[in-house]
Amino acid sequence: MTGRSTVVNALRAQRIELPSWAFGNSGTRFKVFAQRGVPRDPFEKIADAAQVHRYTGVAPTVALHIPWDRVDDYGALARHASDLGVALGTINSNVFQDDDYMLGSVTNPDARIRRKALDHLLACVDVMDATGSRDLKLWFSDGTNYPGQDDIRARQDRLAEALTAVRDRLGPDQRMLLEYKLFEPAFYTMDVPDWGTAYAHCLQLGDKALVVVDTGHHAPGTNIEFIVAMLLRAGKLGGFDFNSRFYADDDLMVGSADPFQLFRIMHEVVQADALRHESGVAFMLDQCHNIEPKIPGQIRSVMNVQEATAKALLVDVAALRHAQSSGDVLGANAVLMDAYNTDVRPLLAAVRTEMGLDPDPMGAYARSGYGDRMVIERVGGQQAGWGA
């Protein structure tokens, strides 16, 4: 069984990136719910994200979404983040909310609109240059609603052309992470609907292109840990967008719908030694806190990932390998279940104490009074949201 010091060191070194948009107002396609004290600009989003890192100790970077987080001076935003003890991370492009993109962005049949979308993606690389970001995350809402609406193969050609142009613009230490989604907003075909499509494009694009697994972007019953294992084996897993789903792309807090699934995913990560920062796998939350308060929602999500990770680290690998090699089906399953059923909360509380943190991040944040102060201070202006 893995020694305690090894487990503790891995948990102390864990890094989970926060999404700036999780701190803004969000909702469903029917309603965006406003909450008091919500940030009004990217600087206030970073301040809220810094609170999550302050109480968890493992969330030191914040992903930006462009144009939601557009500012005049990205250097100033980076310095602001540094002053608060965090840094800017992944840059996420947005080519899905402009009216021109009704029939697609980079796969649109109109060459003018394709050029507009590509220019935005290239501008996002400029933002990466200004912020020192390593990763550009690409998600496309492109697709069709009806058979015959457009040429499926031609759209893949247009996609490949745009992805190639973006790859060629990247700097030597920069990467592009291609995200897939089964459906929505297009319902007949999505142009990047699954991991196989994303993988096929990334394979052609070379080492700078990797696949992102959003845990909410699959059909019901999909074995996500199998996808993770395959991409790890191929060296093409660039990162995760962690959230939970019951029915569709619910964007609920990670681990809230199926904590056992999250454990199984993290087991594959740990077995591939991909938890280390040097592995190149980025772990990011991608959630919309519609009815729960934003900062506590992010703290709880980080804690959920920590718990799943701790359980995965506690798997008795030697016993598991012995049971697997001897064909002991029930014995092998029992090894995993023993780790999953372990209450790791005392272990994580001890780790936080050793890191100089409060062992109860949720309680510590509540006692800080930060949320109440923001309600009082953030009066006036336009609250941030994801623009629905």
pLDDT in tens, 268-278: 999 999 999 99
User: For residue 30, what pLDDT is reported?
Assistant: 84
Structural domains in the chain, sorted by start:
4-377 (3.20.20.150)
- Band of the pLDDT at 3, cuts 50, 70, 90? confident
Residue 1 pLDDT: 56
pLDDT digits (tens, 9 = 90+) for 175-219: 999 999 999 999 999 999 999 999 999 999 999 999 999 999 999
Return d(Cα 296, Cα 294) in angstroms, integer: 6
- pLDDT for 150-179, tens place per residue? 999 999 999 999 999 999 999 999 999 999
Measured at the CA of 243, the angle between CA 82 and CA 127, to 5 degrees, comes to: 35
Q: What are phi and psi of 377, to 5 degrees?
A: -80, -35
pLDDT at 29: 77
Query: How large is the greatest C-alpha to C-alpha distance in the chain, in angstroms?
Result: 67
Digit-coded pLDDT (tens) for 285-321? 999 999 999 999 999 999 999 999 999 999 999 999 9
- Mean pLDDT, the chain, integer: 96
pLDDT tens digit sequence for 337-385: 999 999 999 999 999 999 999 999 999 999 999 999 999 999 999 999 8
β-strands 32-33, 61-66 pairing = unpaired
Q: For residue range 12-22, what is the model confidence (pLDDT) as tens digits?
A: 999 999 999 99
CB 298 within 8 A of CB 344: no
- What's the confidence (pLDDT) of residue 104? 98
Mean pLDDT of 29-42: 91
Share of the chain above pLDDT 70, in %: 99
Q: Is residue 31 very low, low, confident or very high in pLDDT (cuts 50, 70, 90)?
A: confident
Please say if the pLDDT value at position 387 is more than 90: no
Q: How far is CA 165 from CA 8, 125, 128, 170, in A?
A: 43, 11, 16, 9
Q: Are 56 and 12 in contact (CB under 8 A)?
A: no
The answer to whether the Cα torsion of 77, 289, 346, 320 is positive or negative is: negative
Q: pLDDT value at position 388?
A: 45
Mean pLDDT value across residues 55-77: 97
Strands annotated E in the chain = 18-19, 26-27, 32-33, 61-66, 87-93, 135-138, 143-144, 175-179, 189-190, 209-214, 237-242, 282-285
Task: Give the mean model confidence (pLDDT) for residues 37-54.
Answer: 97
pTM of the model: 0.96
- Give mean pLDDT, residues 239-263: 96
